[in-house]
Structure 1
Amino acid sequence: MKRILLACSSGMSTSLLVTKMKTHAEAIGEEAEIWAVGQDQVRKEMAKADVVLIGPQMSFLKGELQQKAEKYGIQVDVIDMQAYGLADGQKVYEQAVSLMGES
């Protein structure tokens, strides 16, 4: 099972994206736990994740979050801005899977 954590300023703008990513994962027959939190919770939640994707508005935190994520052996990246704006669940799911070193 893939565990994908999304984070944005409040956790609200990524909720639609979570739904679309779950729909895509189900459509391709993959099991995935995908959830969203606000930036104040991401440091606590990342221990449960295989990868962390952050909203473009949080890109300034990428370095700090990646440094913390290293102790869990996971990657942190900024969600592709166009995919984020379009709430493209498939593209963001594929970005997360790619960061996990899977195809």
Structure 2
Amino acid sequence: MSKVIMLACAGGMSTSLLVTKMEKAAKRRNVDVSIFATAGSTIPDECKKYSPDVILLGPQIQYLFKLVVKEVDVPVAVIGMKDFGTMDGEKVLDLALSMIK
């Protein structure tokens, strides 16, 4: 069963590039995951639609962390500034996989 990873940022645009890099990393590792990006403002609706196993927030919306944790019943983390800035798909994938039960 594929695990679902949600990435969120201010508008969903910067995390879209990271999704591509994470998908390539997952394919190289033969890891079955579904990864998508969205805007921070749509997290609750997207959770209802896609039932993610983990949510990773871009550093630019880390201020939403406590609010998101209260609204969802899945692990939530903020992507490290360095990993986000360098679009390190490998490390961000590692983070997400380490949080999935």
TM range (shorter): over 0.9
Q: How does 1:5-44 map to 2 (within 5 A)?
A: 5-44=6-45
- Aligned position for 2:54: 51
Residue by residue over 1:42-93, the C-alpha shift from the partner in whole angstroms, topping out at 9 and shown as x without a partner, is 11112420000000011111011011112xxx11110111100000000000
**Runs of at least 4 residues off by over 3 Å:** none
Instruction: Specify every segment of 5 or more residues in structure 1 that has no aligned partner in the other structure, as ranges.
Output: none
Instruction: Specify every segment of 5 or more residues in structure 2 that has no aligned partner in the other structure, as ranges.
Output: none
How much identity, in percent, do the aligned residues show? 39
Alpha-carbon RMSD? 0.9
Aligned partner of residue 87 in structure 1, secondary structure: coil
Normalised TM-score (structure 2): 0.93
Normalised TM-score (structure 1): 0.91
